[in-house]
Amino acid sequence: MLERDETATTSGRVTIRTVAAHAGVSVAAVSKVLRNAYGVSEALRGKVEAAIEALGYRPSRAARGLRGRTFTIGLLLVDIRNPFLPEIIDGVNGILAPSHYRAMIGVSEARIQLETSLIESMIDYKMDGLILIAPRLPSEIIARFAAQIPIVAIGYHDPDAKNFDTVNCNDQRGAAVAVEAFIERGYRKIGMLTLGSREGHRVSVVRQREIGYSEAMQMAGLGEAIDIHSIPVASPVREESLKAFLLRPDRPEAVFCWSDLDAITLLNMAAEMGIRVPEDLAVIGYDNSPTAALSLVNLASIDQSGHALGVLATETLLSRIEGRETHLAHSTAPSLITRRSLGRIAGLETGSRTTQNSSSQ
């Protein structure tokens, strides 16, 4: 049986009105604190939270649903195996924890049909908003969903998006930072490992990193040396492609990998094949995943701060839920974390960070 409306005053039951009376504030003020609405002062929040704790008040999620709000956020992941994603989830949960919102996670496995189905299910369950991480859907499809529910997309570079918000690392700049770091250390034969063409349309992080790599090579006068090696998605052909790259007689002396996922696999294969890193092959990955920092891995990597992306995306979504209608397109700055796979130069310590300027549109 459904609980009665939580705003009703019922003998023996703590309601939102009871909390308001105990705190000496209005019911609307309590509601704002529960929603973690923008503009709530710390003094008001303190009064309401003290009353909630003293009275043992627990909001009725069922009643919220009846009024059109469930205080749940859908979080759609492209692939649960990527070690970068927990950082984003941590950032999301850090913002949601004091807001009384909760995240419900779905995994699309990089399949468009499943991605569509999961979004439709989240809408059917009356979730209040969605955060999509590196969605594969075309922009016009996401826009149609955004007409039904507030949406923020992370890792989706669409300058024409207007119906939904985007939060991105500047992936073109991140790739350029990697190329510039190689050049500063004297490398000229610089390649890139990327995913096969079906794994990213024009708005994907993969394509943006390819653009950044190519433009940085052109700017350095190395346009004729551009060398992009595409890796198939499925195993075992994925591993075979990486091995073929390492066996090339014209193999580059340095390689920028689109992700730590393949960069770490490449390091392992190189060790098995007797290829020295960085003496025979310097490597930079992308994401600065926890595995990259392990001493036995020691992978230089572009850090895009997944935690910061999660925080920014969640704050953006909550403001949209609260009624903001203007479109937001945020861009955060990448930074290079130098480790042994890049090679050492005088005055540069392993694990140091080079930060680029950030921007927000």
Give start and end residues of each alpha helix (H) in the chain: 16-23, 27-34, 42-55, 61-66, 85-96, 112-124, 139-146, 171-184, 205-219, 237-247, 260-272, 306-321
For the chain, the domains span: 16-59, 72-169+306-332, 171-304+335-360
C-alpha 164/C-alpha 169 separation (Å) is 17
Multiple choice CATH, 72-169+306-332, 3.40.309.10, 3.40.50.300, 2.30.30.230, 3.40.50.2300 = 3.40.50.2300
Q: What is the pLDDT of residue 358?
A: 40
Query: What distance in Å separates the CA atoms of residue 303 and residue 283, rounded to the nearest whole number?
Result: 14
What the block records as the tokens of 55 is 């009275």
Residue 258 confidence (pLDDT): 95
What's residue 347's pLDDT? 41
Intrachain domains 16-59 and 72-169+306-332 with the same fold = no
User: For residue range 34-57, what is the model confidence (pLDDT) as tens digits?
Assistant: 766 656 788 888 898 899 888 888
Strand partners, 192: 228, 256
DSSP per-residue letters across 179-194: HHHHHHTT---EEEEE
Percentage of residues in the chain having pLDDT higher than 90: 59
Peptide bond into 98 cis (omega under 30): no
Match domain 171-304+335-360 to its CATH number in 3.30.710.10, 3.10.20.30, 3.40.50.980, 3.40.50.2300. Answer: 3.40.50.2300
What is the average pLDDT across 59-67?
A: 49
| CB-based burial label for 262 (10 Å; 0-12, 13-18, 19+) | buried
Question: In whole angstroms, what is the distance from residue 282 CA to residue 285 CA?
Answer: 10
pLDDT of residue 4: 35
Residue 155 CA to residue 134 CA, distance in Å, equals 5
Which candidate, 61, 42, 45, places its Cα nearest to that of 53?
45
pLDDT at 198: 54
Helix (H) or strand (E) segment spanning residue 130: strand 129-133
Question: Once rounded to an integer, what is the mean pLDDT over residues 66-94?
Answer: 84
Rounded to two decimals, the pTM is: 0.77
